[in-house]
Amino acid sequence: MVARLYEGMSIREISEYLFCEDELAPADLILVFGGKRLERAERAAELYKAGLAPRIFITGGDKRGTGVCESIRLKEHCVSLGVPEEAIVTECESVNSMENVKMSSALIEKTMGWANLNNVIIVSAPYHLRRIKHALARYIPRSVKITCCPDTRTDITRENWWHTQEGQNMVVRELEKVRTYAFQGEL
């Protein structure tokens, strides 16, 4: 059990607030936020192959100094899962979530034009979606619907995050980041 609930919130309240998942509908673009885990690419490939969007945009630089940016590694995994390389655009400069949002928003405007998009499916870690949905909404037209779709991981989900110390730590860190973004006016 969680030793200390975040700011008095119950497990249920944290789960309902932080973990966003929307009903999927056809979209114009799948926007994948970088990370070290390949489940993000797996979800994007699954959505693409199901015909939910004709393009994938992956954002994320070399945050960990591995010599390969996260978006390229995720793109390669998508391609290995059957997504055509020409259906994927990458952004390799951003190294944190706010940079992901700002740089991908600008590049999508430049390459596709937000006016040409009606619905964007965003893919990331299940506990990360609330923050990036609200941050992204500040940088794109209000007319564009943002649909949240968690990646395929099973170890830290809405249903089990409090079962492990790692899950508790990730969720509490994410809640801290949500608070920080809000104080900075980014949400």
Q: What angle do CA 179, 143, 152 make, to 5 degrees?
A: 55
Q: 80: Cβ–Cβ under 8 A, 6 or more apart, which residues?
A: none
Query: Is the pLDDT reported for residue 4 higher than 90?
Result: no
Tell me the average pLDDT across 167-171. Answer: 94
Q: What is the pLDDT of residue 6?
A: 62
Per the CB < 8 A criterion, the answer to whether 49 and 82 are in contact is yes
Q: What is the pLDDT of residue 86?
A: 97
Residue with tokens 């114009």: 28
Q: What is the pLDDT of residue 1?
A: 37
Distances (CA, A) of 3 to 6, 164, 169: 10, 11, 11
**Domain residue ranges of the chain, discontinuous segments joined by +:** 7-183
Topology of domain 7-183, CATH? Rossmann fold (3.40.50)
Comparing 103 with 5, which gets the higher pLDDT?
103
Q: For residues 5 and 144, what is the distance between their CA atoms, to the nearest angstrom?
A: 35
Note the pLDDT tens digit of each residue in 63-96: 877 888 999 999 999 999 999 999 999 999 998 9
Strand, helix or coil for residue 143: coil
Q: For residues 116 and 4, what is the distance between their CA atoms, to the nearest angstrom?
A: 46
Q: Considering only CA atoms, which of 63, 139, 147, 69 is closest in space to residue 104?
A: 139
